Amino acid sequence: MSPSMTGIIGFAVLIILMFLRMPVGFVMAIVGYLGFGYVVSWSAASNLLVRDLYSTFSSYSLTVIPLFVLMGQVAFHSGISGRLFNAAHKFFGHLPGGLAIATIGACAGFSAVCGSTSATAATMASVALPEMKKYKYDPALATGVVAAGGSLGILIPPSTIFIIYGIMTEQSIGELFMAGVIPGILLSCFFILSILLWTYFRPEVGPRGPKSTWIEKFKSLSGLIETLLLFVLVMGGLFAGFFTPTEAAGVGAFGTIIIALIGRNLTWKGFKNALYDTTRISCMIFVVVAGATVFGHFLAVTRIPADIGTFVSELQFHPMIIMGFIILIYLFLGCLMDSLAMIMLTIPIIYPVVLTMGFDPIWFGVMIVIVAEMGVITPPVGINAYVVAGVARDVPLHIIFKGSLHMLYAMIALAVLMVIFPKIVTFLPQLLK
């Protein structure tokens, strides 16, 4: 059997096992090990497995992940998310769909200290859904907004997806973070516009809340100030060249703990829970990265990525048409698997093609994150919808998907805008050079 055929069979087995709900990291490691052993030798495969596992778990560049995760977990357990929502509620709650708008604002703010889509969705679901239920919001609007708003967690820096993409493609993580700022702000604005249009044509789905006084508004700004301070500290330090991404993550985690302690918002129990969740999430990510590394080496010896790159470069299509097909592939895969697994699985194959066609790798990184965001709110495996369903147990899953699909148009609009005006993505990173 040829190496290419072995690679195709290995990929098919991988997809089947993933659909059978086997852990993604273990599946990629096992298939990669068996495939590499068949193509090269079993002793080489054993050496590869040991080396890849050791290099992943001892990697200095990957230490940025648990530090940013810790930053988000401490922020959550110290109640920053609740204070963010309260501030947004005071400013926007009196508008039609005001609580939904406040939820998007709070999601955007929390994303700036979290970096995880599911964590953002779970956090804001527990904070925002009871309030929207209290004011008799339509369940589709309430849950859909939380699911879609949670997707901002992987676009607005710091983002674990950007970190993994940067490490895999050897691109600057700092530039990727900066590249996500403007699209993140634009997507938040598009989400808000979608809510305003939804409530304009159907006012009953998002009733107005009480109007707050200016004194109440200013008193609620504490959560916003905390978030802005952390964002400026981390991203400002990166932008100014004071920190490397790993140093920025350490400063951000330490700063979050200090702010929480000064405000007396972090209990010992909350801190222990933050450490436990950080360890659990980080281990999950590291296992996926290690498995993907082994599988990537297997694909390399099959020459499938190189063959696909050569095939695409010989096609007589405009690069944008090929990019359109790539985006559709990512959209399809994003509906079927976890965004992290999807990116780890496809980057070794797709990235050489992107470079061959002359696309900016930073722009492409942001584009696939946008498409991954679409995947987390679309059936059948829209992870954010399932996360929200776990909190809003009285709302059927199809209602959550119905609401989140209303917000999908905002993501599509941003993706189209990024294709037409790539400077939206590349403007800030170019300032770093």
pLDDT per residue over 60-72, tens digit each? 878 888 888 888 8
149/187 Cα distance (integer angstroms): 9
pLDDT bracket for residue 364 (50, 70, 90)? very high
**Res 193 pLDDT > 90:** yes
pLDDT bracket for residue 196 (50, 70, 90)? very high
Q: Give mean pLDDT, residues 217-244.
A: 80
Give the model's pLDDT for residue 185: 92
**Res 362 pLDDT > 90:** yes
Report which residue type is found at 101. I
209/113 Cα distance (integer angstroms): 28
Angle at 259 between CA 227 and CA 223, to 5 degrees: 35
433/428 Cα distance (integer angstroms): 10
50/262 Cα distance (integer angstroms): 45
pLDDT bracket for residue 387 (50, 70, 90)? confident
Give the model's pLDDT for residue 96: 86
* Sign, Cα dihedral of 214, 217, 219, 225: negative
Q: Give mean pLDDT, residues 329-354.
A: 78
What 195-202 contacts at long range (C-beta under 8 Å, 24+ apart), as own/partner pairs, is 195/97, 195/100, 195/101, 195/104, 195/141, 195/145, 196/95, 196/96, 196/97, 196/101, 198/97, 198/141, 198/406, 199/96, 199/97, 199/100, 199/141, 200/96, 202/138
Give the model's pLDDT for residue 424: 92
307/305 Cα distance (integer angstroms): 6
**Res 191 pLDDT > 90:** yes
For 49-105, how does the pLDDT look when each residue is reduced to its tens digit (9 = 90+)?
898 888 888 888 788 888 888 888 888 888 887 888 888 888 887 888 888 999 998
Give the model's pLDDT for residue 433: 63
**Res 316 pLDDT > 80:** no
29/287 Cα distance (integer angstroms): 9
**Res 288 pLDDT > 90:** no
Which residue in 14, 199, 20, 12 sits closest to 104, CA to CA? 199
**Res 381 pLDDT > 70:** no
Q: Give mean pLDDT, residues 42-47.
A: 90
pLDDT bracket for residue 336 (50, 70, 90)? low
Give the model's pLDDT for residue 432: 67
**Percent over 70 (pLDDT), the chain:** 96
